[in-house]
Amino acid sequence: MALAEVQALERAHVMPTYVRNPVEFVRGEGTRLWDADGNEYLDFLGGIAVVSIGHAHPRLVEAIREQAGRLMHVSNLYYTEPAMRLAQRLSERSLGGKVFFTNSGTEAVECALKLARRHRQGGDIVSVHGGFHGRTYGSLSATPQESKQAPFAPLVPGFRAVEPAALPDAVDERTAAVILEPIRGESGIHPLPEQLLAEVRRACDEHGALLIFDEIQCGMGRTGSLWAWEQTGVRPDVMTVAKGLGGGLPIGACVTAPEYGDVFEAGDHGSTFAGGPVQCAAANAVLDVVDDPAFLAAVAAKGERLLAGLDRLGVANLRGRGLMVGFDVDDGPALARRLLLEQRLVVNATGPGTVRLLPPLTVTEAEIDAALERIAAAL
């Protein structure tokens, strides 16, 4: 179908919540994408940190094909091995407690918020300005951005947002949880200082509040360690994961430390599709690739190469860790559009002044160098 035709279908039938670029993608392989006219692109956005091991990774495709051909869905009233095995792996490689599966990032956050309220009933949730946790009501209530919240008021009661530096003092005996991203992604790749994270950890311990780290964007190997918090020395009580976990299939998870594994009782929470065998087989295949010291070391090294190259280009306020990189420009959306349409490089702008790069973790050094050339040309 020609681009004009799919655009007409969108205008007629799809709610206008997205500002789409005028490109129709039809195929992907590794870091490369092809549009309907056969043009080849380099994908330095990875479906917004989702395509963690590249498009059509043979191991992932095979795992999905095999599981889909055997058993696609039975509901959470029964056992399947892919889900139980994935829960074991996620727990053992992170906080050591228990896992609740979801279909998306925002649902993983909803689970964490409900768990915190179940633990301290009626307690407040404290979040941080510049944070992003999703679009459903609980997550949105923890996402203090006027433009996203205001049209949907009233939000969920009992949520408070503070500036990062004010976080430790905002925790008291009424606080159920603090939720934050160790590296704020949607607001333009802004890591929270380690010292601050340690102070928030101390405040939560002092007052018995849960510390929730949202690793939906910065987790799953993105920063060169499986979880971003591993590089900070601060361990959360609860962690949310999604995006890169399924490599392209929708799956998220909320993972707890051992002492919070049994906060929920039977019937407290649920989801029809969550933890389905196909999504879990996909996530197990992604973990097979990503959860490997050599792979993670390569992510860190490739991130350094990307940062060094961008630094040579003299971009403003360059920041990031691993393959999660942002920099400032006068007009982010215009640069992203030029890169897409003229240089065939897929990136995105997180706001008017920031460009964000989140390539597949399998990106090669040659592809990084090619992307740098295209960025240089577009600048």
Binding region for ligand PLP (CB under 6 A) = 104-106, 109, 132-134, 181, 185-186, 214, 216-217, 242
CB of 326 to ligand PLP, least distance (A): 13
- Closest to ligand PLP by CB, 19 or 77: 19
- H or E segment to which residue 327 belongs: strand 324-328
| Residue 181 vs 367, nearer CB to ligand PLP | 181
- Nearest approach in angstroms of CB 81 to ligand PLP is 25
Among residues 49 and 307, whose Cβ is nearest to ligand PLP? Answer: 49
3-state secondary structure 346-377: ECEEEECCEEEECCCCCCCHHHHHHHHHHHHH
The single-letter code of the amino acid at 278 is V
Tokens encoding 360: 């597949």
Residue 230 or 367: which CB sits closer to ligand PLP? 230
DSSP codes, 222-240: TTSSSSGGGGTT---SEEE
Q: Which residue is nearest to ligand PLP (CB)?
A: 105
Nearer to ligand PLP, 7 or 136 (CB): 136
| End-to-end CA, the chain | 33
The span from the CA of 8 to the CA of 345, in Å, is 25
Query: Which contiguous run of DSSP H or E holds residue 6?
Result: helix 3-13
Q: Which of residues 228 and 298 has its CB atom nearest to ligand PLP in the complex?
A: 228
Q: Nearest 5°: CA angle at 88, between 59 and 219? A: 65
CB 63 to ligand PLP: min, Å = 21
As beta bridge partners, residue 100 has 254
**Minimal distance, residue 281 CB to ligand PLP, in Å:** 19
Report whether 26 contacts 36 (CB < 8 A): yes
> What minimum distance in Å lies between the beta carbon of 288 and ligand PLP?
22
CB of 313 to ligand PLP, least distance (A): 26
